[in-house]
Amino acid sequence: MASNLLKNIIKLDTRVSVSQNVCLPIRCLSTASPRVKDKTGKNIVFVDGVRTPFLLSGTDYAPLMPHQLAKEALIGLMRKTNVPREVVDYIVYGTVIQEVKTSNIGREAALAAGFPHSVPAHTVTMACISSNQGITTGIGLIAAGAYDVIVAGGVEFMSDVPIRHSRKMRSLLLRANKAKTPLDKLKLLSTFRPNFLLPELPAVAEFSSGETMGFSADRLAASFKVSREEQDQYAVRSHTMAKEAQDKGYLTDIVPFRLPNSSKVIEKDNGIRVSPMDKLAKLKAAFVKPHGTVTAANSSFLTDGASACLIMTEEKAKQLGLKPKLYLRDFTYVAQDPIDQLLLGPTYATPKVLEKAGLSVKDIDVWEVHEAFAGQILANLKAMDSDWFAQKYMNRQSKVGVPDLSKWNNWGGSLSIGHPFAATGVRLTVHTANRLVREDGQFGLIAACAAGGQGVGMIVERHPDATAL
Instruction: Please count the structural domains in the chain.
Output: 1
pLDDT exceeds cutoff 70 at 282: yes
When pLDDT is cut at 50, 70 and 90, the band that residue 163 belongs to is confident
Catalytic residue among 23, 28, 309, 449: 449
Q: Say if 420 falls within a structural domain.
A: yes
**Average pLDDT of span 122-148:** 98
Q: What angle (nearest 5°) sits at the alpha carbon of residue 22, between those of residues 243 and 242?
A: 5
User: Which pLDDT value is given to residue 224?
Assistant: 97
Q: Compare 359 and 26 and report the one with higher pLDDT.
A: 359
- The yes-or-no verdict on residue 411 having pLDDT over 70 is yes
* Rounded Cα distance, 365 and 17, in Å: 8
Do 158 and 303 contact (CB within 8 A), yes or no?
A: yes
> Confidence band (pLDDT; 50, 70, 90) for 184?
confident
The mean pLDDT of the chain is 92
pLDDT of 9 higher than 60: no
Mean pLDDT score, 24-33: 44
> Which member of 23, 28, 128, 309 is catalytic?
128
Reduced to 3 states (helix: H, G, I; strand: E, B; else coil), residue 308 is: strand
The reported pLDDT for the residue numbered 18 is: 33
Per-residue pLDDT band at 17 (split at 50, 70, 90): very low
282: burial class by Cβ within 10 Å (0-12, 13-18, 19+)? exposed
Segments forming the whole domain that contains residue 91? 44-161+209-462
What is the C-alpha separation between 440 and 23, in angstroms, rounded?
A: 10
Strand ranges for 12-138 from DSSP E: 44-51, 55-56, 90-94, 121-124
- Assess if residue 27 is contained within a domain: no
Q: What confidence tens digit (pLDDT) does each residue in 365-387 have?
A: 999 999 999 999 999 999 999 99
How far is residue 340's CA from residue 345's CA, in Å, rounded to a whole number? 12
Question: Considering the domain boundaries, does residue 177 fall inside one?
Answer: no
pLDDT over 50 (residue 148): yes
State the DSSP H helix or E strand holding residue 242, giving kind and residue range, or none if neither: helix 228-247
Q: What is the pLDDT of residues 295-342, one digit of tens each?
A: 999 999 999 999 999 999 999 999 999 999 999 999 999 999 998 899
Contact assessment for residue 96 and residue 125, using Cβ atoms and an 8 Å cutoff:
yes
pLDDT at 13 over 60: no
The whole-number pLDDT of residue 33 equals 52
Rounded to two decimals, the pTM is 0.91
Q: Measure the N-to-C terminal CA separation of the chain; round to a whole number of Å.
A: 38
Residue 11's pLDDT is what?
54
Tell me if residue 449 is catalytic: yes
Banded model confidence at residue 124, pLDDT cuts 50, 70, 90:
very high
* pLDDT given for residue 157 in this prediction: 97
Domain assignment present for residue 228? The answer is yes
Give the pLDDT confidence score for residue 423 in this predicted structure. Answer: 98
For 74-83, 150-159, 190-199, 253-262, which range has the lowest pLDDT when averaged over its residues? Answer: 190-199
Model confidence at 441, pLDDT cuts 50, 70, 90, reads very high
Residue 146 — very low, low, confident or very high, per pLDDT cuts 50/70/90?
Answer: very high
Q: Is the CB of residue 176 less than 8 Å from the CB of residue 185?
A: yes
Band of pLDDT at residue 10, cut at 50, 70 and 90? low
218-268 pLDDT tens trace: 999 999 999 999 999 999 999 999 999 999 999 999 999 999 999 999 999
Residue 174 belongs to some domain of the structure: no
Alpha-carbon distance of 26 to 349, in angstroms, equals 30
pLDDT for the residue 3: 52
* Percent with pLDDT over 90 in the chain: 81
pLDDT category of residue 32 using cuts at 50, 70 and 90: very low
* pLDDT band at 31; cut points 50, 70, 90: very low
CATH of the domain at 137: 3.40.47.10
**Residue at 441 is within a domain:** yes
Decide if 25 is inside a domain. Answer: no
Torsion angle defined by CA atoms of residues 373, 132, 429 and 91, in that order, rounded to the nearest 10 degrees: -140
**Residue 52 domain-assigned?**
yes
Is 309 one of the annotated active-site residues of the chain?
no
